Structure 1
Amino acid sequence: MDVTANSRAEQAVLRYVAAARPVQRLISATLTQVAGFALLLLTSRSRASLAEGALAGAHEAAMRACEEVRALAVPDIAAHHHHHLRGAAEALLQACTAALDHGRVDGSDHDDALSRTLRASSDHLRTTARLLPGFELVDFGQACCAAHAPKRLLQDVT
């Protein structure tokens, strides 16, 4: 592969990363939301109706994530990453459906489906974080201790 082809491949990966990161953040945020509502659904039957509106919004977000993942231009080098990103989005959509169904129908089958699809989405998402740089699930630069670091440095200097 010559330098020009290598540069084109690198640019394709950079474009993919730039386009895929917001989708991954959408999947991650929606997964967190659905997992929280799943906990509510699995532990409290009396409050399940409160979650239905929020779950409908999460379902729409999951559908949007699936569409955005399908629309990504995927270079060969990112195919494995894209496979897991697509898996995370699809499992999230299934989890949203299971959560909505859970509120309407009782049964451990729905509990199992909800838990299984949430875990599958999470597993796929964790894999994306390992495959390409920039897809970490926890941004330590946004951690609470990161905001205090400059203050400590300033205090040490003065």
Structure 2
Amino acid sequence: MKSVDTQIRFSPMRVVEVLDEKTASYSVSAQPCFESLHGAANRMAGLLVLLAITKSRHVLDMDVHRAAAALVKAGNDEFRGLVPTPRSRHFHRHLGKAGGLLAIALRDIDSTLSGSAGARDPLAPLRAGWEELRSASICLPGFEVVDFEHSCCALHQTAN
């Protein structure tokens, strides 16, 4: 009779960070703010892509613009109600910066849509706001964002 190898193999398991009760409560309270700002950033990025493709501010989806504006306002309003704990201060700082930068990007989009001659490019504050959201997502568990920066690498490997 053959001996069966009964060696147990453990798969790598992500260790879940345990938060104190106040920080866990903060995280739950901060989730709507994060989601609002994340949603606003996604919608504004879509508007800028559409603007770049069409080269006309008149074809932009105003419903998407209104939704982005509402989400920026909601996110910043929700942020003002958050009280960070010592453990969540770093996250809180990034979240606040993201809200401010997304408000600037929205203002710059508004200037572009109104045809203002002095309109600034909204891409820079939008990118910076997205980076702040990404940085915030690293600080506390439960606030993930998808990074598409290297999403085409798999296609490059199959093309070779």
Percent identity between the two aligned chains: 26
Q: 1:117 is matched with which residue: 90, 112, 125?
A: 125
Render the CA deviation track for 1:72-125: whole Å, top value 9, x for unaligned: 1211221111010011111111111111111122668522xx011111110100
Structure 1 runs of 4+ with >4 Å offset: 106-109
Q: Extract unaligned runs of 5+ from structure 2.
A: 1-18, 147-160
- Judging by fraction of residues, say which structure has more helix: 1
CA RMSD between the two structures:
2.0
Checking the alignment, whether the CA contact within 8 Å between 1:41 and 1:103 is kept in structure 2 is no
Checking the alignment, whether the CA contact within 8 Å between 2:51 and 2:60 is kept in structure 1 is no
Residue 93 of structure 2 aligns with an amino acid whose one-letter code is H
1:59 paired to 2:69: yes
Q: Which secondary structure does the structure 1 equivalent of 2:20 belong to?
A: helix
Q: Which secondary structure does the structure 1 equivalent of 2:60 belong to?
A: helix
Aligned residues: 128
1:132 paired to 2:140: yes
Q: After superposition, where does 1:1-150 map in structure 2 within 5 Å?
A: 10-46=20-56, 48-105=58-115, 110-111=120-121, 114-138=122-146
Structure with bigger gyration radius: 2
Q: Extract unaligned runs of 5+ from structure 1.
A: 1-8, 139-158
Alpha-carbon distance between aligned partners in 2 of 1:53 and 1:98, rounded to the nearest angstrom: 17
Alpha-carbon distance between aligned partners in 1 of 2:63 and 2:55, rounded to the nearest angstrom: 16
